[in-house]
């Protein structure tokens, strides 16, 4: 449901000041990572904004939704990966890829150990 909401948000809300071709993009990511508190399998969707009025890293911010799961052998086999959606014209294909990907379908019906939503500048 969280991914569906991020897709709906991307489709229905256009950010101000992010007009360039790569100013408003989606990123789907997955993999098993250890950020210092033990390994977990992560499924993430991130909306990246690049504001034209700002410079360098100050121009880039990301709204991320991450689902974390226990690292099972089945999930580790999925490896790590990502795919970008380059704009609204690619959204339908991107959504289909995401929802049919092995990383998504493996955990779609399972309860996440943790869910995190964050917004930060790069």
Q: Where are the domains of the chain?
A: 2-121
What local confidence, expressed as pLDDT, does residue 47 receive? 85
pLDDT averaged per 10 residues, the chain (length 122) = 90 66 82 92 89 59 92 94 90 96 96 92 77
Q: Of 41, 39, 40, 59, whose CA–CA distance to 49 is shortest?
A: 59
What local confidence, expressed as pLDDT, does residue 69 receive? 97
pTM value?
Answer: 0.86
Structure tokens at 73: 């052998």
What is the C-alpha separation between 43 and 112, in angstroms, rounded?
Answer: 10
What local confidence, expressed as pLDDT, does residue 108 receive? 93
Spell out where the chain has E strands.
24-34, 39-50, 60-69, 81-85, 114-121
What local confidence, expressed as pLDDT, does residue 45 receive? 97
Kindly tell me the sign of the dihedral angle through the C-alpha atoms of 35, 58, 16, 21.
negative
């Amino acid at each position: 449901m969280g991914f569906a909401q991020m897709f709906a948000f991307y489709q229905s809300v256009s950010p101000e000041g992010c007009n360039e071709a790569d100013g408003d993009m989606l990123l789907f990511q997955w993999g098993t990572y250890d950020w210092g508190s033990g390994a977990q399998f992560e499924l993430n969707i991130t909306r990246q904004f690049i504001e034209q009025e700002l410079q360098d890293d100050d121009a880039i911010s990301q709204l991320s939704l991450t689902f974390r799961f226990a690292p099972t052998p089945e999930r580790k086999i999925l490896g790590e990966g990502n795919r970008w959606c380059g704009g609204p014209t690619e959204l339908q294909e991107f959504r289909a890829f995401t929802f049919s990907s092995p990383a998504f379908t493996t955990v779609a019906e399972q309860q996440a150990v943790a869910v995190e939503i964050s917004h930060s500048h790069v």
